[in-house]
Structure 1
Amino acid sequence: MDNEQTSGCYGCRIIKGEKELPGGVIHDGKAAILAADPDVPVPGFLIITAKRHIRAFSDLTKEERIEIGSILYCAEKALKELHIVNEITLVQEERSEHFHIWLFPMYDWMIERFGTGIRYLRDISEYAKEHADKSTWKTVSDTAERIKTAFMDFYREEA
């Protein structure tokens, strides 16, 4: 797979800073960045995006896997210790042209309205987009800022 960043690739646009991220970048590592999802207005919905243009977890080097594992651990820990959510769903699909992992928070309203399980994530995402306003996006940004502070503390402990 071509490891050069491509301008048409959504993940590459995130890495290049061409896509506005609510609350900014939470963590900028050697192999990946962590940020709030730029399209779905759900507070605490985080995305880990590989810096290299690859598709699959198996395309990562050992060092990249270790770093991404630490990012995942610290991000989940921040979401839970800040009492943003008690449960998250991790998603990584190879259908995307650029490797990323979703940390999708499961709120009570989601479970009450849609049920539980990965099959509802698209419906939840569409609902969140349809019902978002400036206040919602402000909450997403503020939550990302809170996560960034906690994440940094946890990540330093990991190093």
Structure 2
Amino acid sequence: MRTITLSNGQTVEVECLSCALTGGLIEPEGGVIVETEYFHAHQDVAYPIKGLVILASKRHFTCLDEMTESERIDYMDILTKIRKAQREALGIDYVYYFYNEDTTHHFHTWMVPRYKWMSEFGRSVESVRPVLLHARNNMNHERNKNEVRSAIKVLAEALRN
């Protein structure tokens, strides 16, 4: 068991945070954006950026080539639907996608929107980490977190339709 401090300050003891999130043992702050048979989408509110989505596998694996055919189809389908909802419901023009295979938990893809305020950090992959840290360190106030929670609800509603 590991003790993990969540973005809201609550601590939990779990074997795997991703299993706890995708299995419904821990409710992500702001709620689940969308869930399929194989994947679970939520926002990591530790980085309070409207429309930032983490799409995580329910099954424990770390590499793209470890997906079953059904998982690959579901992954591309839900990833595409989330992106369409980001564009249509939240007006997000550009998104950076990241996944890494040296994680200690489930396969997951970060969908990080680009906003005009991020330009001061550059327009390349190297700019994403400073953007995330800026959001965590400077945008973690109630007004912005409420906007992020509202965006989560908007995305969830758009994906239900």
Calculate the TM-score normalised by the size of structure 1: 0.85
Instruction: State the alpha-carbon separation in 2 of the partners of residues 83 and 145 from structure 1.
Output: 11
> Contact between 1:19 and 1:38, CA under 8 Å: does it hold in 2?
no
Which 10-residue stretch deviates more, 101-110 or 78-87? 78-87
Equivalent in 4, 16, 19 of residue 12 of structure 1: 19
> Contact between 1:22 and 1:140, CA under 8 Å: does it hold in 2?
no
Name the CA shift for 1:13/1:117 in 2 (closer, same or farther; >3 Å).
Answer: farther
Count of residue pairs the alignment pairs up: 147
Higher strand share: 2
- Match of 1:21, SS? coil
TM-fit CA distance, 1:9: 2.7
Instruction: State the alpha-carbon separation in 2 of the partners of residues 119 and 140 from structure 1.
Output: 24
Structure 1 equivalent of residue 29 of structure 2: 22
Structure 2 equivalent of residue 92 of structure 1: 99
RMSD: 1.7
Unaligned runs of 5+ in 2: 1-13
Instruction: State the alpha-carbon separation in 1 of the partners of residues 45 and 145 from structure 2.
Output: 10
> Contact between 1:11 and 1:99, CA under 8 Å: does it hold in 2?
no
Structure 1 equivalent of residue 150 of structure 2: 142
Structure 2 equivalent of residue 108 of structure 1: 116
- Match of 1:82, SS? helix
Instruction: State the alpha-carbon separation in 2 of the partners of residues 43 and 73 from structure 1.
Output: 18
TM-fit CA distance, 1:25: 0.5
Name the CA shift for 1:18/1:127 in 2 (closer, same or farther; >3 Å).
Answer: farther
Q: How does 1:124-139 map to 2 (within 5 A)?
A: 124-131=131-138, 132-139=140-147
- Match of 2:42, SS? strand
Which 10-residue stretch deviates more, 60-69 or 80-89? 80-89
Name the CA shift for 1:48/1:141 in 2 (closer, same or farther; >3 Å).
Answer: same
- Tell me which of the two structures has the higher relative contact order, counting C-alpha pairs closer than 8 angstroms and 6 or more residues apart: 1
Amino acid in structure 2 at the alignment position of 1:99 = F
Calculate the TM-score normalised by the size of structure 2: 0.84
Deviations 1:112-157 (CA, angstroms, capped at 9, x unpaired): x20111111111111001112011111111001001111222xxxx
